[in-house]
A and B are shown apart, each in its own frame.
Chain A
């Protein structure tokens, strides 16, 4: 499903953010990427949804080399993914509902269906009662849940989440993980970057350890 071959990434000279990363994630896997801050987790995810290009290496997703997709066709890849960004990336002048609905609107889904699915996604993260508020009026944890609702609303084949429970209390973090697990059971491949060991212990199937840009080991639990 997701295959990375010898990925190297350099932001500055003589400093490798990622060094020779090679791994495969199978369809339906529930995978954690862990490691200390600055180990390259976010860089790796950004390369997977092609916000940035690796300095060297190849990535194949769904039998397609994503580095060869042209800029104006990259939407095809991203529509198959649900992404939870570390900094949430919410549009602050749009209401919570609009932030979630936009993923469906870009697909040209009818308005009534958009409303139904966006509402359901917000209900899953327990924010349906705040759907007409602006993100700035929500707490950090709530904003994070909006970002999660946006990532799952489209029932994507792949979910890439960067510290999706970073600002949530343990109980809510477990709820969100259960939600990801549920989506995973329906067939989606889930890759989560986190350094929360508790979550990894409870939910991890496949774990990749990164340290200073290098893949130290892969574990299957």
Chain B
């Protein structure tokens, strides 16, 4: 391979760029999925209660929430605690509260839903049931946002499958053609080996190994570049994104995805060499 270092360098570069494109796309899809997951995991509902709710009514609501497998945690926030929270979160608005002669905040029950089991239909059913119970005045639920995020995630996945499929197919053709060019450039040597009595496998093996090596090296370099890219994006964008930076938290490819890319490199290298050799091993 060293003898053809310039040609091999360009082959590896093309293979690497192709895989880098696939890798970037995969990483983006991973990120979208991760974001959708995080947002849906944070799904919560706040039940605002009547100020004069009785102990019995409150216990009944708590019991109803507790027995539901969808609910992870329920916290009672009294009207006084709500004011304190408001003061803590918005210190600049303290004046407004002090000017009011009464506490405007109702007591509430903050409910977090279980991460794994929840579906929107189930959550909506439970919320409707609780809202209809005596002592509950209103409910705040981020269903719309979660619904939107999930349909966005579904759309991203669908587009991902479509574009990813095209990209992988394109990468297959590009890489196998690069390998083919490598073999074509040495067709004279292959022909000579045939004429001096080389068996097909004697001729094939070094080329197949070379194809596999080029494919695997290309994939490895692309994964390394992707790693650098993913690590440098938050540094560059971090200060501008602010709170969003935490949410967007760029993620690298999973181990399975990385292994798939490397394997794909090897397989395409092998197939590219194999198919281009076939035509020279006939005479």
Residues of A within 8 A of B (CB): 49-52, 71-72, 74-76, 78-79, 81, 83, 85, 89-91, 93, 102-103, 106-107, 150
Contact = CB atoms under 8 A, between A and B. Distances in A.
A87 to B, nearest CB: 10
B255 interface: no
A70 B197 CA distance: 14
A78 B194 contact: yes
Nearest to A49: B195
B198 interface: yes
Contacts, number: 52
B196 to A, nearest CB: 5
B88 to A, nearest CB: 76
Contact of A106 (B188, B199, B282, B283): B199
Say which size band chain B's interface belongs to.
10 to 19
Contact of B195 (A71, A76, A83): A83
A103 B197 contact: yes
Contacts of B283: 50-52, 71
Contacts of A106: 193, 196-199, 202
B189 interface: yes
A91 B192 contact: yes
A79 B197 contact: yes
B17 to A, nearest CB: 27
Nearest 9 CB-CB pairings of A with B: A79-B197, A78-B197, A106-B198, A75-B197, A103-B196, A91-B189, A75-B199, A89-B192, A71-B282
Contacts of A89: 188, 191-192, 195
Interface string B166-207: 000000000000000000000011011111111110100000
A52 B199 CA distance: 18
A71 B278 CA distance: 11
B281 interface: yes
B239 interface: no
Contacts of A90: 192
B3 interface: yes
Interface in B79-121: none
Contacts of A71: 281-283
**Residue from B194, B196, B199 whose CB has the most chain A CB atoms within 10 Å:** B196
Contacts of A72: 199-200, 281
Contacts of B189: 91, 93
Contacts of B193: 102, 106
A85 B199 CA distance: 20
A178 B228 CA distance: 67
A150 B188 contact: no
A50 B193 CA distance: 14
A52 B243 CA distance: 73
Nearest to B196: A103
